[in-house]
Amino acid sequence: MTRTINIAMHQLNYTTGAFEANFLKTRASIEASRHADIHVLPECAVTNYASDDYFLDTQYQAKAAEYCERYRELSAELGTTIVVGTPLRGKSRSKKMCNGLVVYSKGVEVHSYMKTHLPNYDVFDDVRWFESRIEQTGPDAEIRVLEFALDGEIVRLGFCICEDIWFADVTAELVEKGAEIIISINSSPYAIAKGNFRRAVFRDRVSETGVPLVYVNQVGGNDELVWDGCSAVLDPDGVLYEIEMCKEGVETVVLADAGKGFRNTVSKPTLVLNDQQERYLLASLGMRDYIEKNGFAGTLFGLSGGMDSSLVAALAVDVFGEERVNAAMMPSPYTSPGSNTRAARVSSGMGKGFKAEVWPITAEYEAAKATFREVRGEELGDLADENLQAQIRGNRLSALSNHAGGKLAMLGTSNKSEILCGYGTLYGDLRGAFNVLKDLYKSIDVFPLAEMRLAHAIDADPVFDRIWLQAFGRPLAKWSAECREAMREVIDEPPSAELKPGQKDTDSLPPYPRLDAVLWQIEDAKESQTDEQIAVLLGEDVAFVKWVRAKRRQPEFKRFQSAPGVKIHRKSPTTKDRRMPLTCHFA
């Protein structure tokens, strides 16, 4: 006799602390898949995993417990079984709770589990917020298997949480105790290449245990983190069923045991995007959720006709639609005619065109310099002169945002290469509510993403179109022929801040490909190599590597005060990922 179990994987986009909204979202998802035998929610579904120090707040903990009761009642009302990720009781002598899960079946708590391995690296602070299972006593300290009654049969289910599947011990003990299927609830944030790394971990666990692994991950952005979803089931025969990246919703997988253990009855292979498409998608998702979850009605940014602001324009129009995108073109005496015309052609040709007003800053700039000259009896210095222009533009954008009642989110346009090297002005171009380019290198990401998007505007990739539509509920914007020509010019134009006559970025920085190669080895390799090793690896002069490292160390105070942005790379300049002293004499 064949045993079957229908497992609903709820890949949902939760908002931190939105207890009622998260509950209602989950309820609707469960009602849409009522035929399932068991419903699996992501890690910390009740609160959202990105709750940080709210996990230590007594009232927050009480609210989580209150909503756990709501989930128990829901399981009774719908006559079903729900796996709920939530903070759970810890030892009474501690303010910490455990990162746990509860299984409610038809109104009864039938199982619970507390996370064993607490990540304490990169963006993770579980040790700060939670106690581990191994710190508990009594039943809470045990790894147990749920004997799940189904159509007169018993299916033995083992549960674990996120980091637990990165090690072999928890899954091994679950199988030793009789688990026939392992279900892992997760809140595993996105980073470049992490998807393939995760799948390799799935293969290891399934190969070691000989039973299927059900992996349910959340999706969407919260502050500087973004989750890609990619919930999946992998069985011992290597059959994979995977929900598409960035798609919110529920999908039910059927596992059947015809005598050799449970196996997938249907496969759904991974839909593969290229690197540029994937980064464009995840940066967009993080930006959308930050803007919308914080209640902004639209976006506003400075549009210069350069590469960075043109890419921000493309991202914003694709995500929000041209009707929610606003830009200010703010020419100075040093802005080239080509920059002005490129900006105008980009703004008018993306979708149906977005609002881009021209606000010249020359009069204000000259007046400020004249006042300085009058009061001090000397000319403003070169660097101060350049920063003044950026700060006037920042003031202008702030005024426009405030005039709109604060409902227009200022988008930053500084890329990762500039931010790491301090090539930006505090209270000027580093100002903003959110910076979608914050973790995107100029040559590694910004230019390739623009090339990809331009190529897609000419000859669309149907797979990228499909995944984008599923993630955002709207198609990528069409670009007019004039817009495509302008973007081609933007890509080909040598980068320049245009803050003095004939200025090029290479006046202050090395060519971006050379600079980014060293920055990547320092940042994304996580300080694991000496300057000498990096020099040998890249065929560079050691003195140049040391110069880049020193350049990167100096402006920590600027990074600290810059707008939040999406983590994309393995190491990002976001506050989640970067914890360096502002005052430090280490050279």
Q: Alpha-carbon distance 29 to 40, whole Å?
A: 11
Counts of helices then strands in the chain (DSSP H, E): 18, 20
Of 25, 43, 131, 571, the active-site residue reads: 43
* H or E segment and range at residue 215: strand 213-217
Q: Alpha-carbon distance 539 to 532, whole Å?
A: 10
Would you call 162 a catalytic residue per the annotation? yes
Is the CA virtual torsion 429, 122, 270, 219 positive or negative? Answer: negative
At position 168, the amino acid (one-letter code) is: A
Dig out the tokens for 143 from the structure: 């790894």
Would you call 115 a catalytic residue per the annotation? yes
What DSSP string describes 332-368? -TT--HHHHHHHHHHHHHBTT--EEEE---HHHHHHH
Q: Alpha-carbon distance 81 to 72, whole Å?
A: 9
Q: Match 């290469």 to its residue by tokens.
A: 417
Q: Match 């899960």 to its residue by tokens.
A: 101
Would you call 73 a catalytic residue per the annotation? no
Q: How far, in Å, are 24, 345, 456 from residue 460 at the CA level?
A: 37, 21, 4
Dig out the tokens for 400 from the structure: 């426009």
What DSSP string describes 124-193? --HHHHEE-GGG--GGGGS---EEEEETTEEEEEEEEEGGGGGSSHHHHHHHHTT-SEEEEEE--B--TT
Q: How far apart are the first and last CA of the chain?
A: 70
**Alpha-helical regions (H) of 240-381:** 275-293, 307-320, 337-349, 362-376
Q: What is the DSSP letter of 266?
A: S
Phi, psi of 101, deg, nearest 5: -145, 150
Phi, psi of 517, deg, nearest 5: -60, -40
Dig out the tokens for 580 from the structure: 């360096």
Dig out the tokens for 353 from the structure: 């065109």
Dig out the tokens for 171 from the structure: 């899954």
Q: What is the DSSP letter of 479?
A: B
What DSSP string describes 229-298? B--EEE-TT--EEEPPBT--EEEEEEEEESSS-EEESS-BPPPPPPHHHHHHHHHHHHHHHHHHHTT--E
Q: How far, in Å, are 13, 125, 138, 438, 577 from residue 289 at the CA level?
A: 9, 22, 41, 16, 19
Of 68, 160, 162, 246, the active-site residue reads: 162
Of 96, 115, 247, 558, the active-site residue reads: 115
- Please, are residues 234 and 253 in contact by the beta-carbon 8 Å criterion? no
Is the CA virtual torsion 165, 171, 173, 179 positive or negative? Answer: positive
Which residues participate in catalysis according to the annotation?
43, 115, 162
